[in-house]
Amino acid sequence: MRQLLNMLFVTKPDVYLGLNGENITVRENDKIIARYPLHNLEGIVSFSNLGISSQLMEKCVSQNISICFLTPTGRFRARVIGETRGNVLLRKKQYQIADQKDTCLEIACNFILGKVYNEKWLLERYIRQYPMRVPMEEMKKASLSLSDYMHEIQGSENMDQLRGFEGSAQVVYFSEFDHMIINQKEAFYFYGRNKRPPEDRVNSLLSFAYTLLANDITAALETVGLDPYIGFMHQDRPGRASLANDLIEELRAPIGDRFVLSLINRKQLHADDFEINENKSVYIKEAARRTFISEWQKKKQEELTHPFLGEKMSWGLVPYSQALLLARYLRGDLDQYPPFFWK
């Protein structure tokens, strides 16, 4: 369990939530393992399969405390709220800002600033950890180039210019990505990002990781009351979660890319875990997909200290923390949206 920004996250899969006076009780195997006062909560996010008592649900509805139900793996199930005035105001503000070009640009700049910053420090981490196995000078030069693009991004005058800087930074970053593949180089090579369909094993893994991460972010946005389909950078299209596509940018490197590199370098997946079709598309076999998902869930349980909040949390809660911070910015509680700067 974890309380974060007035939200209670119940991450244990086999606990039952009840009510005792003005407190939430968390019960595991018929034993109360935790209590949380209701008076300072805005919402409850439960990853449990066992549910919640009708008394607690009624109490939360009467006090306008939202309850969000997710599967233990983080897939969104449902959201229960009482009077919807708070979420209506938040979404109304989101829709208003989505039509304001200057504010959209400001938010988008922070998304992309976080993206390039995190890519830079992923390169730096490999330089420090494997100084004898990577081309240090080449990667340091790329890192400095990404720093230059961060300054350019902050001075972007319009969305097209921002996208141009982002695209140029991605060329630099992905030109060094293959150097971070330390083991199994014969089977796991990377010559550039490709998708729909992926044309090599690494791109197949990246696409799968980004899909899982996008699902987690969509659930996080739903949880805090934001509309995942109304974005500030990615254009709105039917069926596309544009805001989730916005928010994923800063989390690709520290969550998705780092996880994929870890699977390869630790030899948790192998060359024969993939199917190569006649059209040269490459897909992960079913058994390897299960391994991928299992390791993904383990990774989400590992802890870090959030760079902005200064609080310890699991990696699985990072999308939720960023969604909460974005909601607070939209409400006017923060002067600007704070990107996730991982180091």
The tens digit of pLDDT for each residue in 83-102 reads: 554 567 889 999 999 999 99
Give, for all 343 residues of the chain, the pLDDT tens digit: 666 667 788 878 889 999 999 999 999 998 999 999 988 787 888 888 888 999 999 998 888 788 888 777 667 777 787 655 456 788 999 999 999 999 999 999 999 999 999 999 999 999 999 999 999 999 999 999 999 999 999 999 999 999 999 999 999 999 999 999 999 999 999 999 988 888 999 999 999 899 889 888 988 898 888 999 999 998 777 767 899 999 999 999 999 999 999 999 999 999 999 998 878 889 898 889 889 988 998 899 899 999 999 999 999 999 999 999 999 999 999 999 999 999 8
pTM over 0.85: no
Task: Tell me the β-bridge partners of 34.
Answer: 26
Q: 244 near 217, Cβ under 8 Å? A: yes
State the Cα–Cα distance between residues 65 and 32, nearest whole angstrom. Answer: 22
Angle between helices 201-224 and 258-265 (to 10 degrees): 140
The tens digit of pLDDT for each residue in 247-277 reads: 999 999 999 999 999 999 999 999 999 998 8
